[in-house]
Structure 1
């Protein structure tokens, strides 16, 4: 049987690091050795001088297909993911029709099957008004659940219906319902009452950036993390804290873990690479929730990454049209939050790994083996015989300068102007999903029907 042999690469994963050849058959890794002799009919990929890493797993994306294809579709989003070594995405449930019922989950999964270049899983939303649907969503294959601890803006309420819990009793009930399924419970932590307080306090601040960050200071996030973590001790919820932006938030989670809470911590490249000066320069094009923090907060977050306080890195990819971002350029309250990042994940990771004392293998693990363990993605996330042949071959020295007129694959990538001043290096040369090339020689070469829907089944393990 013909297979794929990747020769001469520098393998970098949790299980193996160093110069090895790798052989794949039937979509699986079947051999890793110092030298593998190709057999007749084999495809051979020369990876000399290049990195070979497990395909990245992005556990936090917003493609919003089919509701807003002008912002992002699954075709454009997964093509962009494939172009930078991402082989699995987990999509959040916020949409024009929020995924809060089993029927909606099934409908969305069927719609996306045949529209994805890479493998994918789907979150379901959980909130105080959708408790009756949690168990059925788990049975239908929700990979995990998502809850917000604050109310959405009135203009976006429809997309977030059924996935927020504001008061402590609401959150306790929601976490209990999700805990009963055994699935991971991803929580967006911002305290609703403090948001109201600080929004009123910051209304007269000058400038877009100052108004936005003063409306959402670190205590808004940190206090919600403390509440969610404390409730997890009683409910047994397997909490995943999304897009944590402060070292104090990481420390709170770590303390709760020591007390017995099952908590994993996620952050995003933009919190590790950018700070509030970027928000001041680019306004609505650099708005995210929580906001970009001060320079010293960013450095402290990098320190927690270095010392393993952070389990997972994810893009939180979120696209809008240029017109939408420009519409509220002077109004941080009305401007849409979220940054498009999936097309820049690989160079962002390798740039982060160049920071002092940041080990490349540890940074890579936070987008491969760690998320695979946490979300129960069996056979993914590491270079191990028997695992899926999800692989990225990477040129770690290739510069990836941002240019608004570049030929981006993701709809929103042209709006990632906040990366203009970041020295990004590291580009995927080829990406393989289950042994089949989906990106090679600068072009997407896979079929949009190749990606498989991964339904949640197990409970996964601690990422540590």
Structure 2
């Protein structure tokens, strides 16, 4: 009988069903799956009883360096505690965005020194004359490219003009990587915000009123038409409104390779929470009406939303509280990589809205497929031994003061959740034991994107 490095047992969430069984791990990979207990022998055995053993979850939308005080160590510790075994870090770093290959290479070196879980890296382009870097960034290992139609910062997080966008989409399409977009209409939002400011209408709900759904849906329509003419594969991040998903589905049915995500706040909060909590519940796009939230749930349950992400944006209290008397002064975004899995397990699986198999698809399998991350996203032989173990019978209460992020704020403070992460494994090693992060910085590794992986192996995914 083969002796494995590790054998774990519990309720295995496979691609098509849940079975009680065992997984044998060898050299950080899944070497065997036994759909019954007591058949595998290992140097170490970790039984998890009735707990679900999910494929390691992947958060595709994380900002480690929008606030440089956060960084890889804090974020990857948060990820481990949150059951996220791989995350994709966005390129809008402060002070310099990752729009040049030399910056990208330096960041990969930093991953190798500081990561606790595995990390892929996004790349972007500069506002003008930056498309010459696309091929080089793809070859260096970028997992995808992020661009924006809204200008958060002219240098760090710019709005890419349409002519540059078309050129970029064509070149990104040629690499085989996916182009993803923050899709909000800059002109409409800027005009509305200026009108509201002049009128002194700076109450919390004004954030939503100045970013109505048309500011999202209109830009998504434009981008999908650009994708049609350039051949790019595109992804729409943080979709906030069901109308946007309807439009995406229409283009998808016509043959366009377009995928989309939503983030946990758009399923678990609404604009009334923005009224109640103010800056603590401010993000871009904004929270929507309760009926829109229900529409988003219907799209998720029907499979029209491909994946879930956190859009982790760890602002300090001073950045948020700056908007206490004027919502437009507060930074947008929430800390979320540690809370994405527990919140969505409670809201989706424990509530009966998604099965464990469906949850594994939007949290692991689809993220790996959308971004062509080889060897991750499934419990399958030959895949990385990344596991998120959740005890469905346990519960806990969110305490924002104990978050591992530098941001000690969440609109979910005090919420009681059903289901608890009892262990997180990355490549066969425990990185979180249910109470403490036990792996050291440097255990996690840089996971290169499809172009670099293909060049190394000479194969496709």
2:285 is aligned with 1:283: no
Structure-2 residue corresponding to 1:442? 435
1:113 to 1:339, Cα distance in 2 relative to 1, 3 A: same
Q: 1:356 and 1:205 mapped to 2: Cα distance?
A: 44
Secondary structure of the 2:339 match is helix
Structure-2 residue corresponding to 1:394? 390
- Which one of the candidate residues 311, 315, 333 is aligned to 2:310? 315
Aligned residue runs from structure 1 range 175-194, under 5 A: 175-194=169-188
| Maintained 8 Å contact 1:74/1:115 | yes
What's the CA shift for 1:322?
Answer: 1.1
Structure-2 residue corresponding to 1:89? 87
Q: Which runs of 5+ in 1 are unaligned?
A: none
| Maintained 8 Å contact 1:279/1:287 | yes
Secondary structure of the 2:329 match is coil
Q: 2:135 and 2:85 mapped to 1: Cα distance?
A: 28
Q: 1:179 and 1:31 mapped to 2: Cα distance?
A: 37
What's the CA shift for 1:452?
Answer: 1.0
Stretch of structure 1 that moved more, 93-102 or 330-339: 330-339
After TM superposition, the score normalised by the length of structure 1 is 0.92
Q: 1:421 and 1:256 mapped to 2: Cα distance?
A: 41
Secondary structure of the 1:74 match is helix
Structure-1 residue corresponding to 2:30? 29
Structure-2 residue corresponding to 1:199? 193
| Maintained 8 Å contact 1:127/1:147 | no
| Maintained 8 Å contact 1:316/1:341 | yes
Secondary structure of the 1:147 match is strand
| Maintained 8 Å contact 1:15/1:383 | no
What's the CA shift for 1:422?
Answer: 4.3
What's the CA shift for 1:30?
Answer: 1.1
What's the CA shift for 1:128?
Answer: 4.3
What's the CA shift for 1:284?
Answer: 1.2
Q: 2:182 and 2:67 mapped to 1: Cα distance?
A: 22
Secondary structure of the 1:29 match is strand
Structure-2 residue corresponding to 1:342? 337
What's the CA shift for 1:423?
Answer: 4.0
Q: 2:244 and 2:188 mapped to 1: Cα distance?
A: 16
Secondary structure of the 1:264 match is strand
Structure-2 residue corresponding to 1:114? 113
| Maintained 8 Å contact 1:128/1:173 | no
Structure-1 residue corresponding to 2:419? 426
What is the number of residues matched between the two proteins?
446
Structure-1 residue corresponding to 2:151? 151
What's the CA shift for 1:127?
Answer: 4.8
What's the CA shift for 1:392?
Answer: 1.3
2:449 is aligned with 1:456: yes
2:41 is aligned with 1:46: no
Q: Which runs of 5+ in 2 are unaligned?
A: 454-461
| Maintained 8 Å contact 1:59/1:90 | yes
1:270-319 deviations in Å (ceiling 9; x for gaps) = 11111111111111111100001110100100010011110010110110
Q: 1:238 and 1:423 mapped to 2: Cα distance?
A: 39
- Which one of the candidate residues 217, 237, 242 is aligned to 1:242? 237
C-alpha RMSD of the superposition: 1.9
Q: 1:347 and 1:371 mapped to 2: Cα distance?
A: 18
